[in-house]
């Protein structure tokens, strides 16, 4: 008996050709295949749930064996981080207030005005190539393909497939992911080290406004705002559940006189700003506004934050797969502004056709690689969000301006 006959060869060839045919049909978009996917999901769901319940003890045992040392180390690091955050949260609060106010003055779109949908991560990709998660909300919750997904730290990914009750999210680290971003500089040291000033907000050396405040970069916040924590003086820390959003500013103060601006003065200032070009607006704000960190103030001192922000360059952020940092391409140094460097902030650029609104924090530049010729530098980006430990995420129910009304 022939062990390896021509007939057997044909079977194998037929199966491989069928695979290729299915691949072609799927890539061209076939409703029957989509329906088959939905149907198979319905069949698999209860089996998967039951399997999850049965194997849960094994999973925990495995994590107990493999992650114990890491957890202990993480716990210590987090405790240290919490201690540091308590020391810097006042500065963070001031930055939130400033960012929020300036966004309002500029009338820029921000996440604070966009509805979101909280979803739980229920699954990860089961292969070693794709960086995809599955969430437990779908089209019945208003989620559509293309919508950005964030967590408290920043951008996580975008929705790529939607069913009625679930959706798949391609993570930023996936090799197929691309998003328009802008690179900005920020003086991180100013955030890390709160500065004590006089109650009016004036710097003791008299140097006040030159380095004061920011543009609409509430996104430059470090993850220093911890929900549930309180300030050393007992005041609650503002809840910034969305990156790029913050608490409302209720008061503005004149840095020269130290008095509160009236509503009329604020309106006049806003009107003046609206008539001026963006650069001069920033200067005007720099000179005119000093934002008090009223809620964090103590009797003897006020904490202010100085975050000079410069938008340096726009580029395309592309994922590069698991354990590899995403990279920004299509960049050039702009000598008139500043050189792109390690530590620069990265956030979404927005735009009328972009699926992500402007101002979602993405991460920080971790490495810079210069290329010969006109290629421009490549920037590796350390993401703010820890994509390996996603539990709850928010889907930003955002539609690009180009698609609104369609």
Partner 1 sequence: MFAAFVQGPLIRVIPVGIILLALQRTIFVEIQIDGVIIQVMMATAAAAGVAGGSERGALVGFVFGVMFDLAEGTPLGSTATAMTVAGIVGGLLALIAADPQWWFAAIFTGLGTAAGALMIPVVRVFVGEPEPFQDRLAVVVPIVAVAGALMSPLLVPLARWCLRMKRPEWTQPINDPSM
Using CB under 8 A, which of 176, 259, 267, 371 touches partner 1? Answer: 176
Q: Is 330 left (phi over 0), alpha (psi -120 to 50) or beta?
A: left
Cβ proximity of 225 and 237 under 8 Å: yes
Q: Work out how close the CB of 321 gets to partner 1 at its nearest, in angstroms, rounded to a whole number.
A: 5
- Binding flag, residue 125, partner 1 (CB under 8 A): yes
CB of 262 to partner 1, least distance (A): 56
Q: Binding of partner 1 at residue 272 (CB under 8 A)?
A: no
Q: Which is nearer to partner 1, 15 or 207 (CB)?
A: 15
DSSP 119-134: EEEEEE-SSSS--EEE
Q: Smallest distance, Å, CB 326 to partner 1?
A: 12
Between 265 and 322, name the residue whose CB sits nearer to partner 1.
322
In sequence order, the β-bridge partners of residue 167 are 135, 162
Least Å distance between CB 365 and partner 1?
21
Structure tokens at 374: 């006109």
Residue number with CB closer to partner 1 (4 or 335): 4
- Give helix then strand counts, H and E, for the chain: 5, 14
Is 140 one of the binding residues for partner 1 (CB under 8 A)? no
One residue of 81, 86, 114, 123 binding partner 1 per CB under 8 A: 123
Q: Give CA–CA dist 263/251, Å, rounded.
A: 9
- 290: Cβ contacts below 8 Å, ≥ 6 apart: 200, 201, 202, 208, 209, 212, 213, 252, 253, 254, 255, 304
The answer to whether the CB of 366 falls within 8 A of the CB of 127 is no
Taking CB under 8 A as the criterion, the residue among 139, 254, 320, 338 binding partner 1 is: 320
Phi, psi of 346 (to 5 degrees): -125, 130
Token representation of residue 335: 């000598």
Cβ partners under 8 Å of residue 111, min gap 6: 150, 242, 243, 244, 245, 357, 359, 360, 396
User: At closest approach, how far in Å is the CB of 328 from partner 1?
Assistant: 15
Q: Which is nearer to partner 1, 106 or 177 (CB)?
A: 177
Q: Residue 51 or 301: which CB sits closer to partner 1?
A: 51
Nearer to partner 1, 26 or 254 (CB): 26
Least distance between partner 1 and beta carbon 16 (Å):
6
Question: Least separation, in Å, of the C-beta of 239 and partner 1?
Answer: 31
**Which is nearer to partner 1, 295 or 327 (by Cβ)?**
327
Check binding of 310 to partner 1 (CB under 8 A): no
Q: Does 227 bind partner 1 (CB under 8 A)?
A: no
User: Which of the ranges 72-80, 120-128, 202-210, 300-308 carries the binding residues for partner 1, by CB under 8 A?
Assistant: 120-128
| Binding-site member from 130, 254, 287, 382 for partner 1 (CB under 8 A) | 130
**Can you tell me the distance from the alpha carbon of 68 to that of 60, in angstroms, rounded to the nearest whole number?**
11
Q: By CB under 8 A, what part of segment 28-87 binds partner 1?
A: 33, 36-37, 40-41, 43-44, 47-48, 50-52, 55, 58-59, 62-63
> Which residue in 109, 321, 376, 400 binds partner 1 (CB under 8 A)?
321
Options 27, 271, 372, 404; binder of partner 1; rule CB under 8 A: 27
Binding to partner 1 by residue 25, rule CB under 8 A? yes
Q: How many residues lie near partner 1 (CB under 8 A)? A: 53
Q: What angle do CA 373, 374, 380 make, to 5 degrees?
A: 95
Helix then strand then coil, % of the chain, to nearest 5: 35, 20, 40
Q: How far apart are CA 15 and CA 265, in angstroms?
A: 76
Compute how many other C-beta atoms are within 10 angstroms of the C-beta atom of residue 204.
10
Q: Is 185 exposed, middle or buried (0-12, 13-18, 19+ CB in 10 A)?
A: buried
* Stretch 322-341 residues interacting with partner 1 (CB under 8 A): 322-324
Residues that bind partner 1 (CB under 8 A): 3-4, 8, 11-12, 15-16, 18-27, 33, 36-37, 40-41, 43-44, 47-48, 50-52, 55, 58-59, 62-63, 123-130, 132, 160-161, 168, 175-176, 320-324
């Amino acid at each position: 008996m022939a062990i390896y006959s021509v007939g057997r060869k044909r079977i194998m060839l037929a199966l491989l050709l069928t695979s290729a045919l299915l691949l072609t049909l799927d890539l061209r978009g076939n409703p029957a295949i989509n329906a088959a996917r939905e149907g198979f999901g319905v069949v698999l769901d209860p089996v998967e749930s039951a399997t999850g319940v049965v194997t849960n003890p094994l999973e925990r045992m495995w994590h107990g064996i493999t992650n114990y040392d890491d957890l202990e180390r993480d716990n210590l690091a987090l405790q240290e981080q919490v201690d540091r955050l308590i020391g810097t949260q006042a500065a963070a609060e001031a930055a939130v207030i400033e960012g929020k106010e300036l966004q309002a003055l500029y009338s820029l779109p921000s996440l604070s005005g966009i509805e979101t949908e909280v979803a739980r991560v229920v699954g990860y990709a089961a292969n070693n190539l794709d960086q995809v998660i599955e969430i437990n909300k779908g089209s019945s919750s208003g989620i559509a393909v293309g919508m950005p997904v964030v967590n408290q730290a920043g951008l996580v990914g975008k929705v790529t497939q939607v069913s009625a009750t679930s959706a798949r999210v391609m993570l930023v680290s996936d090799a197929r992911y691309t998003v328009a971003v802008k690179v900005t500089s920020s003086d991180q040291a100013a955030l890390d080290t709160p500065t004590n000033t006089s109650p009016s907000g004036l710097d003791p050396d008299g140097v006040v406004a030159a380095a004061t405040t920011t543009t609409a970069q509430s996104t430059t916040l470090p993850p220093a705002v911890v929900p549930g924590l309180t300030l050393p003086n007992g005041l609650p820390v503002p809840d910034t559940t969305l990156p790029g959003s913050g608490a409302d500013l209720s008061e503005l103060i004149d840095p020269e006189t130290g008095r509160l601006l009236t509503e009329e003065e604020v309106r006049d200032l806003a009107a003046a700003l609206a008539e001026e070009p963006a650069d001069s607006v920033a200067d005007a704000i720099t000179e005119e506004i000093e934002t008090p960190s009223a809620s964090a103030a103590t009797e003897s001192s006020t904490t202010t934050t100085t975050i000079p922000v410069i938008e340096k360059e726009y580029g395309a952020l592309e994922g590069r797969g698991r354990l590899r940092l995403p990279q920004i391409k299509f960049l050039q140094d702009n000598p008139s502004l500043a050189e792109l460097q390690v530590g620069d902030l990265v956030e979404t650029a927005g735009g009328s056709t972009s699926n992500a609104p402007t101002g979602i924090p993405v991460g920080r530049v971790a490495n810079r690689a210069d290329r010969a010729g006109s290629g421009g530098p490549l920037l590796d980006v350390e993401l703010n969000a820890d994509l390996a430990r996603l539990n709850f995420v928010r889907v930003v129910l955002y539609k690009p301006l180009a698609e609104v009304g369609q």
